Amino acid sequence: MAITPPSARLWWNESVHRVELIWIAVAFVWGLVMFFMMIYWHATGAQNLATETYRTTPNAFYAKVERNVAEWQVRELNGVPVIKPPAGADIYLLGRMWLWYPVLELERGQSYRVHLSSLDLQHGFSLQPININVQVHPGYEHVLTVTPDKSGEYSIVCNEFCGLGHHMMLGKIFVVDR
């Protein structure tokens, strides 16, 4: 029994039955399939998370965000500037307690380099309703190249707890047709 010492003293010498060996082989091969699937997707898939990262500081990052706003602001939405950067631009998007800033207006089918960082605590960039989720750290600047392929209004929820106003933290990205 499993609660008593093994009945065969030399249990490690017992042969393993074919049924168990087959299951072990199936499980092992399935593990390899899942492992190489991730690598395969890096080679061929269109959705891979960028690893481009820089050290930054809240002040330095905020300065870049403000430069974006000064250059590309087109209007305001509920008091938050809306910027319309050109295709291929480097866009700085910050999370802070409790707002994503600024609002972006992007063109469908164009690629943009979105730099993400936080001014205070950790935040969770959660783009809805398509459900893209990326963790945002203070002190780190994470650069994602995204290509919005459907137009519409998207919301950025914060999905990392960041204090009592966490559930009020929202941002917007508008994707418009060219």
Partner 1 sequence: MNKTVFRTCPTTGLKIDLSAQALIKANAVAAVVFLAIGGLFGLSVALTRWPAVHLLPADWFYLALTAHGLDVLLLWIIFFEIAVLYFASAILLNSRIAAPRWAWAAFVLMLVGGLVTNLAVLQGQSTVMFTSYPPMMAAQHFYLGLILFAVGALIGCGVFFGTLVIARDEKTYQGSIPLVTFGALTAAIIAVFTLASGAIILIPTWLWSMGLVSNIDPLMYKLVWWAMGHSSQQINVSAHVAIWYAIVAMLFGAKPLSEKVSRTAFLLYILFLQLAAAHHLMVEPGLSSEWKVFNTSYAMYLAVLGSMIHGLSVPGAMEAAQRARGFNNGVFQWLRKAPWGNPAFSGMFLSLVMFGFLGGISGVVMGTEQINIIMHNTLYVPGHFHGTVVAGTTLAFMAITYLLIPLVFQRQVMFPELARWQPYVFGLGVAGISLFMMGAGTLGVSRRHWDITFTAASFDYSYPPTALLMMALNGLSAIAAALGGLIYIVIVVASVFFGKAVRDKITLAAPSGQPISGAVASYGSAGTMRIPGTLVLVGVFFIAFVLYYFVNWKYLSEIWPMR
Identify which of residues 72 and 160 has a Cβ nearer to partner 1 in the complex. 160
Minimal distance in Å, beta carbon 3 to partner 1? Answer: 5
CB 163 within 8 A of CB 98: yes
Q: What does residue 176 show for φ and ψ, rounded to 5 degrees?
A: -115, 155
59 binds partner 1, rule: CB under 8 A: no
Q: How far is the CB of 29 from partner 1 (least distance, A)?
A: 10
Nearer residue to partner 1 within complex by CB, 56 or 67: 56
**Of residues 92-121, which lie at the interface with partner 1 (CB under 8 A)?**
99, 116, 120-121
Q: Are 74 and 83 in contact (CB under 8 A)?
A: yes
Q: Is residue 116 a contact partner of residue 95, using CB atoms and an 8 Å limit?
A: yes
Q: Which of residues 149-178 bind partner 1 (CB under 8 A)?
A: 149-150, 155, 157-164, 166-172
166: which DSSP letter?
A: G
Binding to partner 1 by residue 69, rule CB under 8 A?
A: no
Q: What 8-state DSSP symbol labels residue 15?
A: P
